[in-house]
Amino acid sequence: MHSRRDFLQKVSLGLGAAALSAFPAIANELTSNRQDKQLRVAIMGLGGYANIVAKGMQECKMAKIVGVISGTPSKIETWKKQYDIPDKNTYNYETVSQIKNNPDIDLVYVITPNSLHHKHVLQIAAAGKHVICEKPVADNAKQAREMIAACEKANVKFYIGYRLHFEPHTLELIRMREAGEFGKIMHVNNYAGFKIGDPTQWRLKKSLAGGGAMMDVGVYSLNGARYCTGEEPIWVTAQESKTDPVKFKEVDETITFQLGFPSGIIANCGCTYNFNHVEGLKLMGEKGWAEVNPAFGYGPIRGTTHKGKLEAPDVNHQANQMDGIADCILNNKPDPNVTGHEGLKDMVVIDAVYESIRKNGAKIFINK
């Protein structure tokens, strides 16, 4: 692999455009036409989480917000003032394809409702910009595969907003597991969820959210089970409960699901939109254990293992994630475990969760 430092050295040595074609990732005009080491990001969809990302990004060293895409003119005005965004870097959903002509935007972070991810990532890829898409990657694995193919065809990077794969406590847990400190992993028990508020919000509409608790927070239990084990599930079973069929008319309220892994581990997981005090990650190994709680939220992650407190620095999750992704792109480092392919692996399981529920809990085998 060639780092951006190598590339910059070659440029300074007087190598021309022809030589650059030997470094296709580096040669991408999006990132090679400047030397300030700041990834220039536009945010697409200016809802609640976009505000958290933007606020966090004020701490970024290698990424900055330079543009916005929104269907709400008043939001664009607010963001322009708040983040010093020039008019020429603002788009709505009708004009977004023109972003391809804007050399001042490197990457678009898609934070629109879940069911729009597929359409929007395809648009951004077609515009030749790198893209980060919030989780869940899409409504289903078929869409995720199309999104990956579109980004590969366009030669743009495609990341999922898996911020915990940059979070130090989570990385320490994974390091301990990989180092064998827990011994052989025997079981995982992960939960994510909360009691959702406003009954009119998009998360409760099937056409925008694709699904309910499973899509939005179940993906934490699921992704956590995969990084707790270091394995990919071979079977899935799932069960659903709906205690409030009015509020949760369109989407799932509470789902429990089990993942069977090749070594025999079962991860027994759950997610909900209808009660609190549920979050937690538990890992039981032959030689040790870990309990992490909070495990998935935006605030400080806290955990205990058989060795004591899970020690790692607290960071701003969003700033940390964006600097991590910027570092990969700008410095041509290997991508961490947050690409579209990682998102697809979770979507395959989510598809199987819903299939198992439709089939009354039947075991769904996952074919790789």
Considering only 21, 275, 307, 309, the residue that binds a second copy (CB under 8 A) is 275
Helices (H), 315-363: 317-330, 340-358
Minimum distance, C-beta of residue 368 to a second copy, in the bound complex (Å): 20
In the structure encoding, which two tokens stand for residue 163, read together? 């911020």
Spatial separation of the C-alpha atoms in residues 326 and 61, rounded to whole Å: 9
Longest dimension (CA), the chain: 68
- Report the residue number, 105 or 265, with the smaller CB distance to a second copy: 265
What is the residue-wise DSSP string for 24-93? Answer: HHHH-HHHHS--S--EEEEEE--SHHHHHHHHHHTT-SSEEEEEEE-S-HHHHHHHHHHHT--GGGEE-T
Instruction: Pick the closer one to a second copy by CB: 19 or 365.
Output: 365
Q: Is the CB of 24 or the CB of 245 nearer to a second copy?
A: 245
Residues 93/46, Cβ–Cβ less than 8 Å: no
247 binds a second copy (CB under 8 A): no
Q: Residue 180 interacts with a second copy (CB under 8 A)? A: no
Site string for a second copy, 289-328 (x = CB under 8 A): x----------------x----------------------
Residue 361, interface with a second copy (CB under 8 A)? yes
Of 2, 39, 4, nearest to 323 by C-alpha is 39
Q: How many CB atoms lie within 10 A of CB 126?
A: 17
CB of 287 to a second copy, least distance (A): 10
Binding to a second copy by CB under 8 A, coded x per residue (else -) over 203-242, reads ----------------------------------x-x-xx
Binding site for a second copy (CB under 8 A): 184, 186-187, 189, 191, 237, 239, 241-243, 254, 256, 258, 260, 263-266, 268, 270, 272, 274-278, 284-286, 289, 306, 356, 360-363
